[in-house]
Homo-oligomer: A and B are copies of this chain.
Amino acid sequence: MTLNDLSTAVLAATLSLGASFAQAQADPLPSWNEGATKKSITDFVARVTTEGTPDFVPPSERIATFDNDGTLWCEHPIYFQAAFAIDRAKQMAPQHPEWKTTQPFQSLLDGDMKTFFAGGVKGLLAVVAASHTGMTTEEFSRSVNDWLPAARHPRFDRPYTELVYQPMLELLAYLRSNGFKTYIVSAGGIEFMRPWVEKVYGIPPEQIVGSSGVVEFQLGADGKPVLMKMPKIEFVDEGPGKPVAINHFIGRRPIFAFGNSDGDLQMLQWTMAETGARFAGIVHHTDAEREYAYDRESHIGKLDKALDEGKAKAWTIVDMKVDWKTVFP
């Protein structure tokens, strides 16, 4: 290589750097309409990433936690994990002839969802136990991966993993490009999320915090160890459980947290209860046309106390209808 070749290479590299710079200057949140909500996010990120200012936070402490159901993807008409449990139980029915005459399975198999849901959460828990336990962690993971591409949302007729919120995908990527480590902290099952979240959200399995069942180490007949999913709840990552789980898994307090329901209130309180720049955000579902509109009276994703506290404390409250240009990708 001559010096001239080198110069050409440097020029090319410089031009390419210039292009990257222009790209970085482009709007990182194109699906967010301009306004106070969007500005509260970009202002916060600018504050904590500007070195030499009092609000600067070193990258290792830029922890951002997100609820999943209703915050990163849709949660109506029922939690998608409940849809999975119901579909799986139906698939498993041939191996369980006794279900034909045992509730809640009988009503489920008869398609009598009114009776099924009349049993309240108990019926659903029985179906969750049947579909989520008595198998190895790897068998369960496969069952999630088998279900996802085939299942369709009843209203939107799209795979569930396409019903993620485009503005939140952009927010996750924007935070990561600013040195944040993004986590999910969900009441959903940790093992239900791990098979697909990396592909869908760009969040690796080790950054997923969620509810869990007891798992047991067992040596199989062939001497090969397996982890068996037992029919016993271990931890419910909801409400006051969220800061506890954040402490348990991450061991650092987030500086940025996003939720959408009262089940996220304590995570938001915990995030804000420290000095320095901090951010709490709430997705308020106000868009019945493009998605759903619900808050204080909803049976799923009830947003009542957290809405009041968020307003009182001037947290960022996303008005889905107003703040989001696009909802789904």
Contacts and interface: CB of A to CB of B under 8 A. Distances in A.
Contact of A190 (B11, B248, B273): B248
A273 B194 contact: no
Q: Interface SS of chain A: helix, strand, loop or mixed?
A: helix
B205 A217 contact: no
Contact of A217 (B10, B206, B266): B266
A250 interface: yes
B205 A250 contact: yes
A224 interface: yes
A132 to B, nearest CB: 14
Given A6-B10, A60-B204, A249 B249 contact: yes
Contact of A247 (B6, B7, B10, B137): B137
Nearest to A251: B205
Interface string A1-26: 00100110111000000000000000
Contacts of A273: 224-225
Contact of A270 (B208, B216, B217, B252): B217
B227 A244 contact: yes
Contacts of A206: 181, 249-252
A245 B224 CA distance: 18
Contacts of A252: 205-206
A7 B205 CA distance: 45
Contacts of A247: 137, 215, 227
A269 interface: yes
B244 A215 contact: yes
Contact of A215 (B181, B215, B248): B248
Contacts of A244: 215-217, 227
A28 interface: no
A237 to B, nearest CB: 12
Q: Sort chain A's interface into a size bin.
A: 35 or more
Nearest to A272: B225
Interface in A204-258: 204-206, 208, 212, 215-217, 224-225, 227, 240-241, 243-244, 247-252
A275 to B, nearest CB: 11
A1 B132 CA distance: 64
Contacts of A248: 190, 212, 215
Contacts of A10: 6-7, 9-10
Given A215-B247, A217-B243, 10 more contacts: A181-B206, A205-B250, A205-B252, A206-B249, A206-B251, A206-B252, A216-B240, A227-B243, A227-B244, A249-B249
Interface of A: 3, 6-7, 9-11, 60, 137, 181, 190-191, 194, 204-206, 208, 212, 215-217, 224-225, 227, 240-241, 243-244, 247-252, 266, 269-270, 273
20 contacts: A3-B11, A6-B6, A6-B7, A7-B7, A9-B10, A137-B247, A181-B206, A205-B250, A205-B251, A205-B252, A206-B249, A206-B251, A206-B252, A208-B251, A215-B244, A215-B247, A215-B248, A217-B243, A217-B244, A227-B270
